[in-house]
Structure 1
Amino acid sequence: MDKKPIPDFPKFFRESIRTSFEMEINQTAYIAAVFFPPDYHGDPCFSYQCGIGVLFIIAIMLVPFYIVITTGIKSVEKINEFPTSDYGKDLQMQLYKALVAQTLIPVLSLFLPFSGVFLLPLFEIDCALLTNSMMFVYALYPLVDPLPIFFFVRNYRNAVANIFCCKCGRENQIHNMAPPPEITSF
């Protein structure tokens, strides 16, 4: 007999959506896969359709991941071209630290967790707890992404502090700024 999987995938998620969200499945939009649905005999059978779908999702995620990593590497190369004065070295180190942090934030908070959620079910590992925490992290990402600049780049941090600090006058702002880089003639 035929070992073809049963094509009615929504039946696998209907009860879970009803109990978790108190909604009917036809009222939702979702991405889901059943990698080993039962065939007509009740035996688990790998669904190539779901496997190919996850490969496409991973491929789509690799595009921005590649852009983040490539941009990070090229930015480090550009930072290394900064002037070699003390001011330049200090600014270079601050920007380098901020760049590393801004590269790691999306990798650790978006790419790796979402890849895990798509791949863990393939190995029949339950990732329900991961998906709940991921939505929280995903919502916080726009808030967390600019923080490395604030924490690592001193001039930016001082400028923001001066804007929000009422007791600092115009004279104070000028004295707190770092000296400009040395200009050399050619």
Structure 2
Amino acid sequence: MNDALRSEVLLTFDWKIENITYVGPYIYQKKIDGTYETDFNAVIMIMVLFLIIFSSILTMLISGIKCFYRINKLINVRDMQSVYNNKLQSQLFYALITQTMIPVILMHFPVTVLFISVLVDLNLGTLSDIIRITITLFPALDPIPTMFIIKSYRIAIKSMIKVVFVRPKNTSIN
């Protein structure tokens, strides 16, 4: 694998292959005669990872659909719940949807693109660094939908911003 990556790493990143550590599948191994041999163990490994990603997304979809129907059933029973509770349930559901989309967009999709590029023997070069960035952003972006969708959190954030950025009119000291 070092021989296969040596020139590409030098051209793309200007690094010597001996100075870096990397992990990745080497599916299409070039033989001395110029033909390629497929490493089916690496292909199976990538397929297992695809299965894990797919099962994760499928679990999110099934759980989301079940939550949607159960929350709608609860909201439609107006005799037992207040308007405030119904609104809160809806806000929590929409926060859940947006919080579900964040890992799909920031982790599942980029990793899937990377795996597909490996399977079709496509070198992404420096574009593969996007995955490191999106996975790093995930913990910071994950709570944001909840803070802005749920009304009580939104009100608390607005009041904190007012306290920090809006100065009182009478601030002179005698």
TM-score interval w.r.t. the shorter chain?
A: 0.7 to 0.9
Say if 2:12 and 2:125, in contact at 8 Å, map to a contact too. Answer: no
Q: Residue type of the partner of 1:49?
A: N
Change (3 A) 1:20 1:129: closer
The structural deviation recorded for 1:26 is: 4.1
CA distance in 2, matches of 1:100, 1:116: 23
Change (3 A) 1:40 1:49: farther
Higher helix residue share: 2
**TM-score normalised by length of structure 1:** 0.69
Matching of residues 15-54 of structure 1 within 5 Å? 15-54=7-46
CA distance in 2, matches of 1:52, 1:27: 29
Number of equivalenced pairs: 159
Matching of residues 83-102 of structure 1 within 5 Å? 84=78, 85-102=82-99
Change (3 A) 1:128 1:22: closer
CA RMSD of aligned residues (A): 2.8
Q: Secondary structure, in 3 states, of the residue corresponding to 1:31?
A: coil
CA distance in 1, matches of 2:56, 2:10: 34
The structural deviation recorded for 1:65 is: 4.0
Change (3 A) 1:134 1:38: same
Identity rate of aligned residues, in percent? 24
The structural deviation recorded for 1:56 is: 3.1
**TM-score normalised by length of structure 2:** 0.73
Give ranges in structure 1 of 5+ residues lacking alignment: 1-8, 168-186
The structural deviation recorded for 1:117 is: 0.2
The structural deviation recorded for 1:32 is: 2.1
Q: Secondary structure, in 3 states, of the residue corresponding to 2:37?
A: coil
Counterpart of 1:145 in structure 2 is: 142
Greater shift, 141-150 or 13-22, is seen at 13-22
The structural deviation recorded for 1:59 is: 3.7
The structural deviation recorded for 1:137 is: 1.8
Change (3 A) 1:30 1:72: farther
What's the CA shift string for 1:27-74, capped at 9, x where partnerless?
A: 433222232222342112222122122123334445654554455445
Q: Secondary structure, in 3 states, of the residue corresponding to 1:133?
A: helix
Greater shift, 20-29 or 138-147, is seen at 20-29
1:116 to 113, 116, 122: 113
The structural deviation recorded for 1:158 is: 0.9
Q: Residue type of the partner of 2:150?
A: V
Say if 1:109 and 1:137, in contact at 8 Å, map to a contact too. Answer: yes
Q: Residue type of the partner of 1:153?
A: I
Greater shift, 41-50 or 71-80, is seen at 71-80
CA distance in 2, matches of 1:18, 1:130: 16
Q: Secondary structure, in 3 states, of the residue corresponding to 2:35?
A: coil
